[in-house]
Amino acid sequence: MNFTKKSVLMSSGILLGSSFFLITITRHLILTPNFYQKSGHALTASPGQDIILYADLQKWFYLYDALYLALKIGMTALILYTALYLGHRTLAFLRVLNIVLRSELVFVAGAAVKVLYFHHAYPQGTLLDWHRVYVFSALSLFPQVPADWYYALQTVNLFEFGYWLLLAVGLKMEAKLPFGQSFRLVLLSYVPALLLWICCVSFCSILVFPDQA
């Protein structure tokens, strides 16, 4: 096994391990069966069954997170790899994938900040508060917007900008590009794809929850 493959496996392990650890902390610290009951969103009609159902759902939280990360990271790496190819730059797909894996850790840091902030700032917080809160995001500037705007405004945040910078730095180091050129490549490839994704999520939110638009 060459160095690049080992590095990809190590980066994947670190990202999954840190994500799973954060999920565990969140489920024990904030998103407990009691939290859902206080928010008026009990998991079952029988209070005594909540803990049992919650335990059964635990494994699906981790599976969903792993699948989501695999899809997001794979698509982002493919987009950047294609942009490099169209720009007549040669870089192995695994090396691009490793850049994305390492950069993705910034979102784990963002999620950890949210958990700590919510735990201390919202001791009696509800599920609605949890969905509204995202530290260092545009949503904090517009707290009264309709629910279908939550995702879009949450995405405009300091950690997302940090992600762009990390991707650009990674491409600069691996593809031997000037930073300005690598950052421009990220802006012209990943960012349009992100905007399209935000539009799709927002549109689906309106379709599924028309009363909250």
Residue 44 CA: distances (Å) to CA of 24, 33, 144:
21, 10, 30
Residue 197 CA: distances (Å) to CA of 72, 152, 190:
11, 10, 11
Residue by residue, pLDDT tens for the chain (213 residues) are: 688 889 999 999 999 999 999 999 998 888 887 777 776 655 554 554 555 555 556 677 888 899 999 999 999 999 999 999 998 888 999 999 999 999 999 999 999 999 999 999 988 888 888 888 888 999 888 878 887 788 889 999 999 999 999 999 999 999 999 999 999 999 999 999 999 999 888 877 776 655 555
Q: Is 197 helix (H, G, I), strand (E, B) or coil?
A: helix
Rounded to whole angstroms, how far apart are CA atoms 23 and 61? Answer: 8
Rounded to whole angstroms, how far apart are CA atoms 111 and 118? Answer: 10
Which helix (H) or strand (E) segment holds residue 181: the answer is helix 179-208
Could you give the maximum distance between any two Cα atoms of the chain, in Å? 62
* CB within 8 Å of 122: residues ≥ 6 apart: 129, 130, 133
| Distance spanning both ends of the chain, measured CA to CA | 51
| Token pair listed for 64 | 């969903």
β-bridge mates for residue 137, sequence order: 157
Q: Is 157 helix (H, G, I), strand (E, B) or coil?
A: strand
> So what's the pLDDT on residue 43?
52
Pure H helices in 41-157:
50-86, 93-103, 105-121, 127-132, 150-155
Q: Is 202 exposed, middle or buried (0-12, 13-18, 19+ CB in 10 A)?
A: middle
| Token pair listed for 49 | 């069954």
Check the CA dihedral 157-36-19-195 and report its sign: negative
**CB 15: neighbour CB atoms within 10 A?**
21
Q: Are 154 and 135 in contact (CB under 8 A)?
A: no
